[in-house]
Amino acid sequence: MPLLDAIPRICGLRGRPRHRPRRLFADRSYDYDKYRRLVRTRGITPKIARRGTPHGSGLGKTRWVVERTFAWRRTARDRAARQAADAQLAARIRAVHQKSDGTYGVPRITAELRETSGEAVNHKRVARIMRESGIEGVRLRHRHRTTVPDPAAAKAPDLIGRDFTAKALNTKHVGDIT
């Protein structure tokens, strides 16, 4: 069974990592003694649903995980290619960022990459790679103050002594304009 032999090492609780899982879950299409024997010879307990039994064996919960694992293994080559392309793009982003003395952010770096390389680069991808690499542009915008208090002006006196509870109606009236 080449699929079982291709499973990478998995971490156990303690000690050396296990080479193979302890149990193998499968659906009815693998309900043959040949497959059960092959699995047992590798030291794995087969949990294969029997043909002719009604559904509800509980394998549906595990089957999705197994199918997702197979899909993850099938797309490993594509993920490796994407990581290599991201590493090359990160090197180009670092070069553009250093050429701008560390001032360019995502929009300018994206525009620079599009102009120099001629290929379409998404600004979200550039932002993700910059975030993962710890590259940031300079922010020049400052917050504007709309009210500047006069330091020489006297502060308003606290006539109620920070006690806002009233013992009867219409005894304390407080207002605020900010």
What is the reported pLDDT for 64?
A: 53
Which CA distances in Å does 43 have to 22, 39, 121, 160?
Answer: 7, 7, 49, 82
Residue 43 has pLDDT above 90, yes or no: no
Tell me: the pLDDT tens digits for 121-173?
999 999 999 999 999 998 887 878 888 888 898 888 888 888 888 889 888 88
pLDDT digits (tens, 9 = 90+) for 64-101: 555 666 677 778 888 889 999 999 999 999 999 999 99
Rg (CA), the chain: 33
